[in-house]
Amino acid sequence: MKPLIMPFALILAATTAQACETVTLGDLTIEHAWSKATIGADRPAVFYVEISNRGATDDALVGISTPAAGMPMLHETVVKDGVASMPHSMTIPVPAGQAVQLAPGGYHGMLMGLSAALKAGDRFPMTLTFEKAGKVTVNVDVLPLRAEGPDCLDAGQ
């Protein structure tokens, strides 16, 4: 399987050198904010991001808001006993000294009520609200529908 990974990684790097901005808020570092192109505006979009907490105090992501969607919510995909469900997640813990990922198959933002379809290459602002650190706004890059995530190695991040 190893030999297959390299060419694929190179293709990703060549096509999606985005979503590599890093924003800090106190002890929190927020990076790799990305979304996927949507099929029309009637289906929800997704929001993924990486948050790391270098501090000594636990924090939590308690909300997201964006002009791109009327009803953005935090969810978690849970696969239990062979069944996937998507319970609404009120808060996503960001423990001291740890990193949390909103990533395919786990925590994610579900963006309902899109004002317009998202197209690859689009960029929209997303405000994250943390229990303790407060609010911060990041730019979210829209990657192609089939993207598995941003690749930022070539961007020096």
> Which residue from 85, 98, 115, 157 is in contact with another protein, where contact means CB under 8 A?
85
> Which residue from 67, 95, 105, 134 is in contact with another protein, where contact means CB under 8 A?
105
Task: Report how many residues bind another protein under the rule CB under 8 A.
Answer: 33
- Of 43 and 135, nearer to another protein (C-beta) is 43
**In the chain, at which residue ranges do the beta strands (DSSP E only) sit?**
22-25, 28-36, 45-53, 59-65, 69-76, 78-80, 83-85, 92-94, 99-102, 107-114, 123-130, 134-143
- Tokens 């993207």 correspond to 147
CB of 111 to another protein, least distance (A): 8
- Of 146 and 156, nearer to another protein (C-beta) is 146
Name the token pair of 68: 């791109």
Rounded CA-CA distance 111/118 in Å is 11
CB of 96 to another protein, least distance (A): 27
CB of 87 to another protein, least distance (A): 8
Torsion of Cα atoms, 141 then 146 then 150 then 154, to 10°: -120
Based on the shown chain and the rule CB under 8 A, indicate whether residue 11 belongs to the binding site for another protein.
no
Cβ–Cβ under 8 Å, residues 33 and 141: yes
Sequence letter at residue 37: A
Residues 15-54 that bind another protein (CB under 8 A): 36-37, 39-40, 42-46
Q: List residues near another protein by CB under 8 A.
A: 1, 4-5, 36-37, 39-40, 42-46, 71, 73, 75, 77, 79, 82-86, 88, 104-105, 108, 110-112, 145-148
